[in-house]
Amino acid sequence: MTQMPINMDHHWLPFTNNRLFHKEPQMFARAEGVRYWTPEGREILDGSSGLFTCAAGHGRKEIAEAVYKQLQVLDYSPHFQRAAPISFELAEALSGILPEGLDRIFFGSSGSEAVDSAIKICLAYHKAKGEPQRTRFVSRAWAYHGVNLGGTSLAGMVNNRRDFSGVTCDVVHMRHTWNEDQRFTRGQPEDGAWIAEDLEEICKTYGGETIAGVFVEPIAGSIGTIVPPVGYLQKLREIADKYGILLVFDEVITGFGRTGSAFAAQEFGVTPDVITMAKAITNGAIPMSAVAVKTEIQKAVIDSITADRPELMHGYTYSAHPVACAAALATLGIYKTEGLFERAASLSSTFLDGVFSFAICLMSTICVVMA
Ligand SMILES: Cc1ncc(COP(=O)(O)O)c(C=O)c1O
């Protein structure tokens, strides 16, 4: 087993109480399937598949081999005015599992980059359509959309915003959809679609014509797991359409079979204009993210630029990194050949039974304690 590092002073850990960590380090040295092992050899069940990343389990040889092969053939290629065939292959494969019409793909390396890229694409789209005044965004209380400046602005978790208020952009927040009556609800709560009216109210207060996009996680994932009430996402879709606002689903967690469909958009039967994704796109093995947009969004932006310059002045050194593309293609191959999305759907009921048996235990414990 790997030895503990001798000097831990130099790595500033993200989202971590570093002082506490130094007193009580928690390390993983190895992973396989659904388990981690600590440097001392203790086995730990990985109940959250990494950080919602490793949907096909840890240590997948198919991905390791694809990465190794790609590194030997083309380890890096720039994507500014250049490209490599493998990124087109991946974009086509992704559009094959995305909701119909979302078939133009922009690549980045993290969920945060995907969110900030989506913000810029919304702005570029409205400018292209002759509505440059649409610069405001709507998000939701308790939302998590990554930690870059756009995502920090969209954040509805106060601790993620508090220290950085000087740099955030113009975002108005709707309410989240959770209430106490939803405790122990199996599936989507019946009541709560009316909370989507917050978007209508915001449009009336600020002017719908000033709003570029509304960002939601179809299932909020960072502050608990908040499943949308029946009809809520549909209502957001209707109001967004009424005011010409782009609806963005941040599927960084919910993408790639987590709901039993490839994307939560398909599971809930609501097609947004933009979907952000990351994490399980490469099974967490190599950093990668993507933004999928409707064909007409990309077309509007491209057609609006007549000068000889890039249409979208945005991109990353590691956009569509060929090694990440190879990892993603191998991952999509595993999802397909092993039928993992269908498996998640078929296991859902058994899993819920298990979770609810805990809930009943907890409730009866509470009743016994209170009796
Ligand atoms: C919904 C959502 N959006 C964006 C992100 C940011 O992704 P990353 O940490 O890869 O930047 C996350 C991360 O958990 C997320 O859950």
Nearest CA to ligand 1 atom 13: 146
**Stretch 183-200: mean pLDDT:** 94
Compute CA distances 145 → 75, 116, 137, 240, 313, whole Å.
30, 9, 13, 19, 22
Q: Which residues contact 329 (CB under 8 A, 6 or more apart)?
A: 66, 86, 89, 90, 93
Model confidence at 371, pLDDT cuts 50, 70, 90, reads: very low
Pair of tokens at residue 38:
């600590």
Atom of ligand 1 nearest to the CA of 52: 14
Domains assigned to the chain: 1-47 (no CATH), 96-312 (3.40.640.10)
Closest CA to 315 of 108, 124, 175: 108
| pLDDT of 369 | 45
Percent of the chain with pLDDT over 90: 86
Residue 297 Cβ contacting ligand 1 at under 6 Å: no
Model confidence at 370, pLDDT cuts 50, 70, 90, reads: very low
Atom of ligand 1 nearest to the CA of 113: 11
Q: With a cut of 80, say whether residue 27 has pLDDT above it.
A: yes
Cα–ligand 1 centroid distance for 153 (angstroms): 14
Q: With a cut of 80, say whether residue 225 has pLDDT above it.
A: yes
Residue 144 Cβ contacting ligand 1 at under 6 Å: yes
Taking a C-beta distance cutoff of 8 angstroms, is the pair 130, 301 a contact? no
Give the predicted TM-score (pTM) of the model.
Answer: 0.96
Nearest CA to ligand 1 atom 12: 146
Compute CA distances 371 → 177, 183, 184, 366, 368, whole Å.
32, 21, 21, 9, 5
| pLDDT of 362 | 65
Cα–Cα distance, 80 to 78 (Å, whole number) = 6
Residue 156 Cβ contacting ligand 1 at under 6 Å: no
Cα–Cα distance, 260 to 108 (Å, whole number) = 25
Cα–Cα distance, 48 to 71 (Å, whole number) = 29
Residue 280 Cβ contacting ligand 1 at under 6 Å: no
Atom of ligand 1 nearest to the CA of 111: 7
Residue type for 38, please? T
Cα–Cα distance, 298 to 300 (Å, whole number) = 6
Cα–ligand 1 centroid distance for 151 (angstroms): 9
